Amino acid sequence: MACVPETSVKVSKLSWSPNNSFALEGINFELQTGKVLGVIGPNGSGKSSVLRCLYGYIKGWSGSIKLFDKPITEYSALEVATKVAVVQQDTPSNIHLTVEQLVELGLTPHRPLLSLQRPSRVPVLEAISKVGLADKSHQDFHTLSGGEKQRALIARALVQQPDLLILDEPTNHLDVRYQIQLLQIIKNLSISVVISIHDLNLASAFCDQLLLLNAGKVVAYDEPEHVLTQSNISSVFGVNCQVQPHPKVAKPHIQYCYELPTHFERKVKA
């Protein structure tokens, strides 16, 4: 039996500077196999850029990125496609496929080249039903609501059966029930997940570890209770809040005081 590496992602000294200014500078973190890492931080702090480096969309970075103990630069495109599934932040608008056809595309990396045989619909229908779109499976993707589109793309990623799932703000179009449901599904997959997320309470409840970024640098990287401190939140996001253990899930829960501090200087890139 193939031995599963303990670490799915290991990032060391990752820097990226488009336009001669740092978008990412000296980023270090690693993700244990089967765990969920939440990437948090204010707008423009570098969350999507970190994710894009991980799935090979951004080139020209420096440092080291290893996926399952192997440098990402040594992977072929097909190897990445079979191991890593990605749900990007922006939902594409030019897909003219039904939900079922779109989700079926998730099976493509696993199909033998030139295979004419239609793959089994079972995993496709299961994934569609998991994200609550069973009644929309024949509807055209481009006619779905924003949240439905996002769930269809997540179903496509699930069908891919990746070892590593990368999700860039997957909850931003979802209502609160679907946000919780999606994060429960992700957690129950027991695969390695890197997810960027704006809702700090959801990040706290569902992520094993958090990477807090500000202006392209790591401010904190640890378990939620050590990252989501009142002082980190107010200094990075510029909001007043109180942090207490959630009464049910024993993770930090943030209550915002809906008054902004009078002095706050947003950090900008170097």
Ligand X SMILES: Nc1ncnc2c1ncn2[C@@H]1O[C@H](COP(=O)(O)OP(=O)(O)OP(=O)(O)O)[C@@H](O)[C@H]1O
Q: Which residues bind ligand X (CB under 6 A)?
A: 18-19, 23, 41, 43-49, 269
- The residues, ordered by sequence, that sit 6+ positions from 174 with a Cβ below 8 Å of its Cβ are 147, 150, 151, 182
Q: Which is nearer to ligand X, 42 or 106 (CB)?
A: 42
Q: Which is nearer to ligand X, 43 or 262 (CB)?
A: 43
Sheet strands side by side (includes 7-16): 24-32, 7-16, 62-67, 70-71
Phi, psi angle pair for 168, to nearest 5°? -100, 105
**Closest distance of CB 70 from ligand X, Å:** 25
Contact 193, 164 (CB under 8 A): yes
- The residues, ordered by sequence, that sit 6+ positions from 148 with a Cβ below 8 Å of its Cβ are 133, 136
- The residues, ordered by sequence, that sit 6+ positions from 108 with a Cβ below 8 Å of its Cβ are 81
Q: Which is nearer to ligand X, 19 or 76 (CB)?
A: 19
Q: Which is nearer to ligand X, 41 or 224 (CB)?
A: 41
**Closest distance of CB 256 from ligand X, Å:** 18
**Closest distance of CB 14 from ligand X, Å:** 12
Cite the beta strand spans of 91-230 per DSSP E: 164-168, 192-196, 209-214, 217-222
Q: Which is nearer to ligand X, 47 or 217 (CB)?
A: 47
**Closest distance of CB 201 from ligand X, Å:** 17
**Closest distance of CB 185 from ligand X, Å:** 23
Contact 31, 5 (CB under 8 A): no
**Closest distance of CB 59 from ligand X, Å:** 11
Q: Which of 167, 171, 149 is nearest to 157 (CA)?
A: 167
What does DSSP assign to residue 246?
-
Q: Which is nearer to ligand X, 107 or 195 (CB)?
A: 195
